[in-house]
Amino acid sequence: MTSAAATTLAATNEHLASMSNTLVYSSMAVYTLAFFAYIFEWLLGSRSRVARTANALTSKADAKKAPSVTVKKAGGTAVLERPQVVVRSAAGSRDVPDGPGAHGGDEQGDLYGRIAISLTVLAFLVELAGVITRAASVQRAPWGNMYEFNITFSTVAVAVYLTLLALKKNVRWLGLFLITTVLLDLGLAVTVLYTASEPLVPALHSYWLYIHVSTAIFCGAVFYVGAVATILYLFKDAYESKLENGGKPGNFATSVLERLPASASLDKFAYRVNAAVFPLWTFTIIAGAIWAGSAWGRYWNWDPKETWSFITWVAYACYLHARATAGWKGRKAAYLAMIAFGCWLFNYYGVNIFVTGKHSYAGV
């Protein structure tokens, strides 16, 4: 055995690597249980209290179609009372109350929701242990390849969700949609993207790995949470618009969408999440440029990863600017947000898998 091979074997603790795989698979099992608990929360929660938004919109639509005018007499002069008119809010949606939540305002649904949260916390801790043992198996940061990036990314995404809950933000409606895609992400990681635990290639031996890549993972996780909220906003806005125009959505749409917050609340949540993390994404690109300068001798090489990181930055900058401009609130800004997140996804999956560049050492 050569000394290089011996060094490689010594640098990889196979027992910890195997333990990491077991923990990741175990977290998937617990996430699956959480997924079913979220499903039960939605299915078993009362549907009798989810029609209040529909009723509010219907009554407002009727009032808009046939406004009533009341004549009052004041000192012998007839005074016309101005009728109430339904207008779109600043976010481009209607002034309607938030939905009762995934549990539908029902105690049984709320119980399953609490069970789902408990299972989500447990799954998060198990997955976090899997990420930590993966790092310990090779004594480095656990994001040297796409598999490690994926498992760390999903862990951070769940951490963002649980942090919002811990801050007493009413985001439990996000749970089912988040956990569904986290399971898909982990399934992709352990099948298509799996890479055996091994030491880093020389190009990645830098303290910038801890700074640049960790911030990229965190930004991606927060952008993802914002993207989920944006997608739900688009569905809820279309639903409210249909009701306002006198349409009748199906029972399934009513039972699901009526429990979500109002479209204006979803739009505001997505905007705040994206706006909060955008400065950190700016720092991520700057940190990557500094690392490139020390590793390759140039701060900017127009490498595909660098280029698409910048395109993503421009897309989110356009969204934030448009969202803050009166003429681009609501659906138009939401479409820009989805394009921006699509750029982020392509920057990670598309560039790493289909494009050859200086970042290709990350492996699949």
pLDDT tens for residues 283-309?
999 998 888 888 777 788 788 888 999
CA distance 206 to 294: 10
Q: Can you give the pTM of this predicted structure?
A: 0.81
Please state, in angstroms and as integers, the Cα–Cα distance from residue 93 to each residue in 54, 66, 86, 107, following that order: 14, 21, 10, 30
Residue burial 326-344, b: 16+ Cβ < 10 Å; e: rest: eebbbbebbebbeebbebb
Q: Among 9-13, 21-25, 36-40, 257-261, which stretch is predicted with the lowest mean pLDDT? A: 9-13
**Total domains present in the chain:** 1
Classify residue 74: in a domain, yes or no.
no
Reply yes or no on whether the pLDDT at 360 is more than 80: no
pLDDT tens, residue by residue, 32-59? 999 999 999 988 876 655 555 455 544 4
Q: Reduced to 3 states, what is the DSSP secondary structure of residue 299?
A: coil
Q: Which residue has the higher pLDDT, 153 or 87?
A: 153
Domain assignment present for 77: no
* pLDDT band, residue 327 (cuts 50/70/90): low
Cα distance between residue 34 and residue 121, in whole Å: 9
Q: Is 352 exposed, middle or buried (0-12, 13-18, 19+ CB in 10 A)?
A: buried
Smallest CA-to-CA distance from 132 within 10, 9, 17, 215 is with 17
With b for 16 or more beta-carbon neighbours within 10 A and e for fewer, the 116-138 pattern comes to bbebbbbbbebbbbbbebbbbbb
Half-sphere exposure of 211 (CA within 13 A, CB side): 13
Whether residue 307 is contained in a domain is answered as yes
pLDDT of residue 299: 81
Pick the most confident of 7-21, 159-173, 248-262: 159-173
79 is a domain residue: no
Q: Check residue 324 and give its pLDDT.
A: 82
Burial of 99 (0-12, 13-18, 19+ CB in 10 A): buried
b/e map of 204-230 (b: 16 or more CB within 10 Å)? Answer: beeebbebbbbbbbbbbbbbbbbbbbb
Of 52-56, 124-128, 264-268, 356-360, the range with the lowest mean pLDDT is 52-56
| Residue 203 confidence class, pLDDT cut points 50, 70, 90 | low
- Coil vs helix vs strand at 78: strand
State the Cα–Cα distance between residues 256 and 101, nearest whole angstrom.
Answer: 9
Looking at residue 358, what is its pLDDT? Answer: 59
94 with 262: CB under 8 angstroms? Answer: yes
How far, in Å, CA of 48 to CA of 28, rounded? 34
Which phi and psi angles does 242 have, rounded to 5°? -65, -40
How far, rounded to the nearest angstrom, does the alpha carbon of residue 349 sit from its chain's CA centroid? 16
Q: Which domain holds residue 147?
A: 11-61+89-362
